[in-house]
Amino acid sequence: MSPPVVKVSIVATENTSPYLDLYHLPHGYNICNMTALQIRRALPSDASGIVEVLKSVVAERIHSAIDQAWTVEQETRYLESLSPREVLHVAVDVTADIVGFQSLDLWSSLLPSMAHVGQVGTFLLPEWRGQGVGRRLWNATASFAGEAGYRKLAIQVRASNAPGRGFYRALGFKECGRLTRQVIIDGVEDDEVLMEFFC
């Protein structure tokens, strides 16, 4: 007699059904995200884990305009410098490792005329992508943004990062411009696509 099939509800996408058979999970799928993943505001003591995620993304050379990860000291200073209207949320797995993060910064800390605009950035370890972690981070960030009085959020996404643009479109961001040949990494030019979201 075969063992019973246990089903876990997930957010369906065009490539998944609303349920996953635990005995036939997609390659690399981490079931821990269903039950133990925690989304919380980052602390300066999280700097090392955040930098490790950033190093992983930067090493791929295709998802971000960042071509060199910050040091732990730089990340610590950044976290300590965040204003009351800025935040970085981390996704923490069952072993207390940071598997992703999302930042919300003021678009400009110098111009009061743009105080209503924030800039978002999302970074996930490759094995945690496509599992709803980004959306859970976004839920926390969007809630914070509403409480902090933002009226608009913006993001710059590399043109070659089609999955990233698709992620932000699914959240409700709209493409609104393009910076041509804005990024050069390893001698390869890439555009950056501007996307915006009205709160």
3-state secondary structure the chain: CCCCCCEEECCCCCCCCCEEEHHHCCCCCCCHHHHCCEEEECCHHHHHHHHHHHHHHHHHCCCCCCCCCCCHHHHHHHHHHCCCCCEEEEEECCCCCEEEEEEEEECCCCCHHHCCEEEEEEEECHHHCCCCHHHHHHHHHHHHHHHCCCCEEEEEEECCCHHHHHHHHHHCCEEEEEEEEEEEECCEEEEEEEEEEEC
172 inside domain: yes
Q: Which amino acid makes up residue 56?
A: S
Contacts of 38 (CB under 8 A, 6+ apart): 91, 92
Confidence of residue 26 (pLDDT cuts 50, 70, 90): very low
153 inside domain: yes
Q: How many domains does the chain have?
A: 1
Q: What is the pLDDT of residue 2?
A: 34
CA distance linking residue 172 with residue 197, whole number of Å: 6
14 inside domain: no
pLDDT at 34 over 60: no
Domain that holds residue 98: 37-198
Q: What is the mean pLDDT of the chain?
A: 87
Q: What is the pLDDT of residue 10?
A: 35
28 inside domain: no
Over the stretch 97-115, which tens digit does the pLDDT of each residue have?
999 999 999 999 999 999 9
The CATH code of the domain that includes 120 is 3.40.630.30
Residue with the bigger pLDDT between 19 and 56: it is 56
Q: What is the pLDDT of residue 35?
A: 60
Over the stretch 129-188, which tens digit does the pLDDT of each residue have?
999 999 999 999 999 999 999 999 999 999 999 999 999 999 999 999 999 999 999 999
Over the stretch 35-53, which tens digit does the pLDDT of each residue have?
689 999 999 999 999 999 9
